[in-house]
Amino acid sequence: MKATLLLLLCVPGAALAQDQAQKKAPTDLRGVLMEQLSTTNSAEDWFVPVSIAVDGVTAEQAQWKPAGKDAHSIGQLAYHIWYWDSRSLQKFKGEKPAPFDGNNNETFDKFSAAQWDDLLKKLHQEMADWEAAVAAADDAKVAANASLIAHIGAHRAYHVGQILYVRKLQGSWNPDKGVK
């Protein structure tokens, strides 16, 4: 009985390890950063990417907030991701972003349900633009901006976890999409 249970517990881990072994791991800085951007954007890997986390969310669901004064809605979190990723992409491209007054709360609070569909388009485009910009940049530019690019991926992953938590609380998350 114990051996069977142990075998059943090991199978999912072995399957993940086999999937990872079959996929060629990146061996250079650009490859690692591109993988991180891709897996936080649209490629399913160890965690749910943004594209799956927001898939099927209605404007009404995007506006819903869990109880608590510091809770954010899905829409606020998506807006925040887009806001900071797009500003960072402008800097990466050598463009000057609009002035920022230092109030990070505004990067959440400027979301409204009426803009949900447009925000999703802008978010998906910004994420694709990041991948294209890093792929097209020369090695020196990638190296000089490696920390920034890595933080983009970590920032997305952090807030996607929050989006999934909000979706679970509101009952709109389908666990078949990757997180039980």
Q: Retrieve residue 13's tokens.
A: 């881990």
Overall pTM surpassing 0.75 (yes/no): yes
Q: In angstroms, how far is the first alpha carbon of the chain from the final one?
A: 25
Rounded to whole angstroms, the Cα distance separating 66 from 71 reads 6
Rounded to whole angstroms, the Cα distance separating 53 from 24 reads 25
Calculate the average pLDDT of the chain: 87
Is there a domain that residue 171 lies in?
A: yes
Is there a domain that residue 54 lies in?
A: yes
Rounded to whole angstroms, the Cα distance separating 87 from 14 reads 40
Is there a domain that residue 7 lies in?
A: no
Percentage of the chain surpassing pLDDT 70? 87
CATH code where residue 38 lies: 1.20.120.450
Pair 155, 70: CB distance under 8 Å: no
Decide if pLDDT at 10 tops 50.
no
Residue for token pair 């990041």: 130
Number of compact structural domains in the chain: 1
Is there a domain that residue 99 lies in?
A: yes
Is there a domain that residue 3 lies in?
A: no
Is there a domain that residue 57 lies in?
A: yes
Decide if pLDDT at 155 tops 90.
yes
Is there a domain that residue 40 lies in?
A: yes
What pLDDT, on a 0 to 100 scale, did the predictor assign at position 9?
A: 40
Structural domain containing residue 36 = 29-177
Is there a domain that residue 17 lies in?
A: no
3 state DSSP class of 82: helix
